[in-house]
Structure 1
């Protein structure tokens, strides 16, 4: 397990795009449009304040960034985000997991749990949030197994899927439990 700097993550962007294609069930280079969309979004993500990335060789990677108090992370939230979340975001003490991508052959072996634990340890936040499509049952099961709380749902626009919003308080030096549930890649 190793942490990657923003610069190193950018130099590995093609490898991360390949990993994303495999982790999300496609084939490397299968849909060039999807790949280009991913690469554009990855470039934006690596420029976000507090960008942090961890990788386990070729087994997978996880990354995220600080939740920007002026950002649009909560656009489309059904209702009002809980006050504690709004307060931590306003104090710049919240972090969003943007990508969690274990290779399919590494699932159910604790790789995602270790990546998530390492990412949470490195992020320096008091609260971490993640967003998973409502239909992504393996991701929801993983969050439950890790002790996360389903805080609500959001839909960023009329054509996007409904995503569950999951949050977890960060306790220094205490990564989430190593659950060996089937994990599908998680993305916001």
Structure 2
């Protein structure tokens, strides 16, 4: 990790680097033969949509070349990001959403041949810490078993599923990354203080 440099990109810089990021997406994904081009195009479409969201933020990791990236945006306080959640939303997540302490990680890419163990988790945690987030959230296509396994290996936990309209899969797995220390008082790792309590 000592040889890795982290650099923040704004939306215009991310757009300028989009072709390199799409190449990294292809290199880091396990696509069926012949599916690489379609996956690359879908990634570019998602990136073009995401960079326009309020609060978009991206971190890239560089060695001699582009080694990884993570990007996302703050979850809106109005709860719209959770629309389609199957069942009641856990109260602590609802409180953190309303207080603006959630950050959605939209994409995490790491070059598969890099000598940077833990880079994906490092990028995610750095991005979340920069936004003073109490919780990271992401949505994963359940058919992408390798992606889900990777997120779970990085410490993410499933909290339910979200139904989204097309394009894309209609049901996605909602995962969270808790950043706080787990204690007897807060076994979920989420500290509830005056800043994260919803007013009655």
Calculate the TM-score normalised by the size of structure 1. 0.75
Give unpaired runs (5+ residues) of structure 2.
1-5, 182-200
After superposing on structure 2, the runs of 4+ consecutive aligned residues of structure 1 that deviate more than 6 Å are: none
User: Which of residues 41, 51, 59 is equivalent to 1:54?
Assistant: 59
Q: Is the 8 A contact 2:141 2:169 kept in 1?
A: no
Q: CA distance change for structure 1 residues 16 and 72 in 2, over 3 Å: closer, same or farther?
A: farther
CA contact under 8 A between 2:78 and 2:97: conserved in structure 1?
no
Distance 1:71 1:101 in 2: 27
The aligned residue for residue 15 of structure 2 is: 10
Q: CA RMSD in A?
A: 2.8
Deviations 1:92-121 (A, max 9, x none): 221101001112223882221222222222
Relative to structure 1, is the Cα distance of residues 107 and 132 closer, same or farther in structure 2, using a 3 angstrom cutoff?
Answer: farther
1:162 is aligned, of 171, 174, 179, to 171
Question: For the residues of structure 2 that align with 1:113 and 1:130, how far apart are their CA atoms?
Answer: 13
SS class of match (1:98): strand
CA distance in 2: counterparts of 1:145 and 1:25, whole angstroms? 17
Q: Which runs of 5+ in 1 are unaligned?
A: 173-188
Normalising by structure 2, we get a TM-score of 0.71
User: Which secondary structure state, in structure 2, belongs to the residue aligned with residue 73 of structure 1?
Assistant: helix
CA deviation map 1:119-173 (0-9, x unaligned): 222232222111222344444444444443321112313761532211123349x
Q: Distance in 2 between matches of 1:103 and 1:85?
A: 32
- For residues 80 and 7 of structure 1, what CA distance do their matches in structure 2 show? 38
